[in-house]
A and B are shown apart, each in its own frame.
Chain A
Amino acid sequence: MAAFQPLVASRAHLSPLLPAPAAAAVAATSFHRRRFSAIVAAAAAPTVTEFDFKAYMGERAVAVNQALDAAIPAGEPPAALHDAMRYALLAGGKRVRPALCLAACGVAGGREAWAMPPAAALEMVHTMSLVHDDLPCMDDDDLRRGKPTCHVVYGEPIAVLAGDALLSLAFKHMADVSSYPADVDADRHAARVVRAVGELARCIGSEGLVAGQVVDLEMTGSTEAVPLERLEYIHLHKTAALLEASVVIGAIIGGGSDDQIERLRKYARSIGLLFQVVDDILDVTKSSEELGKTAGKDLASDKTTYPKLLGLEKSREFAEKLLSDAKEQLADFDKEKAAPLLYLANYIAYRQN
Chain B
Amino acid sequence: MALSSLFATFPLPVPKMPDTSKSSRFLPIRASAAAAAAATASPSFDLRRYWTSLISEVEGELDAAMPIRPPESIHNAMRHAVFPGAGKEGSAKRAPPVLCVAACELLGAPRAAALPTAAALEMLHAASLVHDDLPCFDAAPTRRGRPSTHAAYGTDMAVLAGDALFPLAYTHVIAHTPSPDPVPHAVLLRVLAELARTVGSTGMAAGQFLDLAGATALGEAEVMQVLTKKFGEMAECSAACGAMLGGAGPDEEAALRRYGRTIGVLYELVDDIRSASGNGKMRSNASVLRALGMDRALGIVEELKAQAKTEAERFGDKYGDRVLPLYSFVDYAVERGFELQDAAARP
Contacts and interface: CB of A to CB of B under 8 A. Distances in A.
A1 interface: no
A191 interface: yes
Contacts of B180: 191
B174 interface: yes
Interface size for chain B: under 10, 10 to 19, 20 to 34, or 35 or more residues? Answer: 35 or more
The 3 lowest CB-CB distance pairs between A and B, nearest first, are A168-B200, A172-B196, A190-B185
Contacts of B197: 168, 172
Contact of A168 (B166, B168, B171): B166
Interface of A: 72-73, 76-82, 85, 128-129, 132, 135, 137-138, 155-158, 160-165, 167-172, 175-177, 190-191, 193-195, 197-198, 200-202, 204-207, 210-211, 213-215, 217-218
A206 B123 CA distance: 13
B201 A175 contact: no
A213 B162 CA distance: 13
Most buried by B among A138, A161, A193, A217: A161
B156 A138 contact: yes
B41 interface: no
B166 A215 contact: no
Interface of B: 1, 5-10, 69-71, 73-75, 78, 127-128, 131, 134-137, 154-157, 159-160, 162-164, 166-168, 170-171, 174-175, 179-180, 184-186, 188-190, 192-193, 195-197, 199-203, 205-206, 208-210, 212-213
B157 A194 contact: no
Given A164-B199, A167-B167, 15 more contacts: A80-B1, A81-B201, A164-B128, A164-B163, A168-B166, A171-B170, A175-B190, A175-B192, A176-B193, A177-B186, A177-B189, A194-B174, A197-B192, A205-B168, A206-B168
Contact of A160 (B8, B137, B200): B137
A198 B177 CA distance: 12
A186 B4 CA distance: 44
A87 to B, nearest CB: 13
Nearest to A151: B136
Nearest to A217: B156
Given A161-B208, A168-B197, A168-B205, A190 B189 contact: yes
A201 B9 contact: no
Contact of A214 (B74, B175, B189): B74
18 contacts: A79-B5, A79-B6, A81-B206, A158-B212, A164-B199, A165-B200, A167-B163, A168-B201, A168-B205, A172-B193, A172-B196, A177-B186, A190-B188, A197-B174, A198-B174, A201-B171, A210-B164, A211-B71
A206 B209 contact: no
Contact of B171 (A76, A132, A170, A205): A205
Nearest to B205: A165
B192 A77 contact: no
Contacts of B135: 137
Nearest to B166: A167
Most buried by B among A73, A137, A215: A137
Contacts of A218: 71, 73
Contacts of A132: 159-160, 163
A77 B10 contact: yes
B136 A160 contact: yes
B202 A73 contact: yes
Nearest to B171: A201
Given A76-B202, A200-B167, A171 B189 contact: no
Nearest to A165: B201
A129 B162 CA distance: 12
Nearest to B210: A78
Contacts of B190: 175, 177
Contacts of B160: 132, 210, 213-214, 217
A168 B199 contact: yes
